Amino acid sequence: MRHAPIEPTVFRAHRDALRALLPTGSLVVVHAADVLPTNGDGTLRLVPAADLFYLTGIEQEESVLVLAPDAADPASREMLFVRQPSEALAIWEGRKLSKDEATAISGVAKVRWLSDLPNALHALMGESERVLLNANEHERASVDVEPRDTRLARQLIARYPLHRYERLAPLMRRLRAVKSPAEVDLLRKAIEITDAGLRRVLAMVKPGVMEYTIEAELLGEFTRHRARMGYEPIVASGGNACVLHYVDNDADCRAGDLVLIDVGASYANYSADLTRTYPVNGRFTPRQRAVYDAVLRVLRASTARLRPGITPREWKRAAQIDMNGELLNLGLITQDDVAKDTPDDPACKKYFMHGLGHSLGLGVHDLAPVNGPFEPGWVVTVEPGIYIPDEGLGVRLENDLLVTADGCVDLCAHVPIEAAEIESLLQRM
């Protein structure tokens, strides 16, 4: 565990919320993520399965949570299965959790070794009316490799074909969208660390610095605060900023250009997601400043507009209309373009072609109902941008917002974003 311990009451509350949604006679099984191979005998670092972490706080490979709220034996109603520690595992992979340690993290009283899972599942299948199994149903996911959850589903269906099988993912999507105060605190911590990294970058941005040097400064600052990169960072100078998913980060930052930095620290698996755009030589040109301020106005208007009850689609559409006006004033589109604007073919799409934001939490694109509506407790990004490849100019600004009962709170309000403040910091550093 790299981060500070989290109170097990957080995970108990998440399990209680899930149990409240389960039909009578349910059996739930949630797996850890696979350890993925690289080349030869190499493997990637384990990325904890978000649903298992949400329900237990466990980050160890091959762990399994089993919930059977109506099981006849009270001890079988909530069980956690983990790998049994051994001397060989300790030598080659490091210490594995003891039963007491797993209980201390998760709050699950009944912890058993993974070797006990087949017999325990067999006993519970006999008294369960329906089985809820998990799958990656994220709308942006492209699942080409069969994960552990899917392998288990296939095995259970083959062995117990007459049971009723249902999807757990829709329930987890509803639960994970609304963040508890403890989760919001973890996101605030991730944002604070990201802010520290960006302030460190402000001290070293200048003509000639390499994009990867900026990335290295961010990574160093995150590591010092017990965090990791939440996703592959974008450090894109000049025309590179017009490539939305640019991650090469191998060019030099040149005088007269802007550098767009899209980065987020991941702390305790909760990821921040911020974007800032800085002038490499410390001052915006008049054109850069006009584009920058246009993006910032759309961000401010979208922040003010966010509230419970509106849908992501409505929120995005309002931002597109705002952006149409900004692009018109910048001379990038015409009145004829605006007159032809429709929700399916917005006038701004040539220069602002991506979404306005997404749910944030356990991972940079967290689960939430696809079209809302927004509810208090949602945490979402707001990230308008203008990209002008012909001018080698791209500006994106991004903050993280907490939806409240009467609007929203900007969790990134303390991170410098006004153009004058950015210029002042760059010249003072």
- Does the annotation mark 3 as catalytic? no
From 366, 383, 400, 410, active-site residue: 383
Count of residues making up the chain: 429
Residue 73, phi then psi, degrees to nearest 5: -90, 115
pLDDT at 37: 85
Q: Please give the full DSSP string across 314-378, using - where no structure is assigned.
A: HHHHHHHHHHHHHHHHTTSS-HHHHHT--SSS-GGGGT--S-S--B-BBBSS----TT----TT-
Its pTM stands at 0.95
- Does the annotation mark 51 as catalytic? no
What 3-state class would DSSP assign to 380? strand
Residues 194, 263: contact at Cβ < 8 Å? yes
Mean pLDDT per 10-residue segment, the chain (429 residues): 93 98 97 89 89 98 97 97 94 94 98 97 96 88 83 94 96 97 98 98 97 98 97 98 97 98 98 98 98 98 98 98 98 98 97 98 94 96 98 98 98 98 88
d(CA 48, CA 20) in angstroms, rounded, equals 25
- Does the annotation mark 245 as catalytic? yes
- Does the annotation mark 192 as catalytic? no
d(CA 333, CA 418) in angstroms, rounded, equals 25
pLDDT at 427: 86
- Does the annotation mark 383 as catalytic? yes
From 365, 366, 400, 410, active-site residue: 365
From 314, 354, 391, 423, active-site residue: 354
d(CA 179, CA 182) in angstroms, rounded, equals 8
- Does the annotation mark 138 as catalytic? no
- pLDDT tens, position by position, 306-347: 999 999 999 999 999 999 999 999 999 999 999 999 999 999
pLDDT at 138: 82
From 149, 273, 322, 410, active-site residue: 273
pLDDT at 232: 97
Give the containing element (helix H, strand E) for 169. helix 169-177
- Does the annotation mark 146 as catalytic? no
Beta strands at 110-113 and 78-82: parallel, antiparallel or unpaired: parallel
Residue 257, phi then psi, degrees to nearest 5: -95, 165
What 3-state class would DSSP assign to 403? strand
Opening angle at CA 172, ends 60 and 368, nearest 5: 115
pLDDT at 251: 98
Query: Over the range 323-335, which residues count as b (16 or more CB within 10 Å of their CB) and which as e?
Result: bbbbbbeeebbee
pLDDT at 429: 57
Of 341, 314, 313, residue with least CA distance to 327: 341
- Does the annotation mark 217 as catalytic? no
- Does the annotation mark 354 as catalytic? yes
d(CA 408, CA 305) in angstroms, rounded, equals 9
Domains and CATH numbers, the chain: 8-177 (3.40.350.10), 181-428 (3.90.230.10)
What is the arrangement of strands in the sheet containing 265-267, beginning at the earlier edge strand?
228-229, 265-267, 270-271
From 41, 144, 345, 390, active-site residue: 41
From 192, 262, 400, 410, active-site residue: 262
- pLDDT tens, position by position, 18-48: 999 999 999 999 999 988 888 988 888 889 9
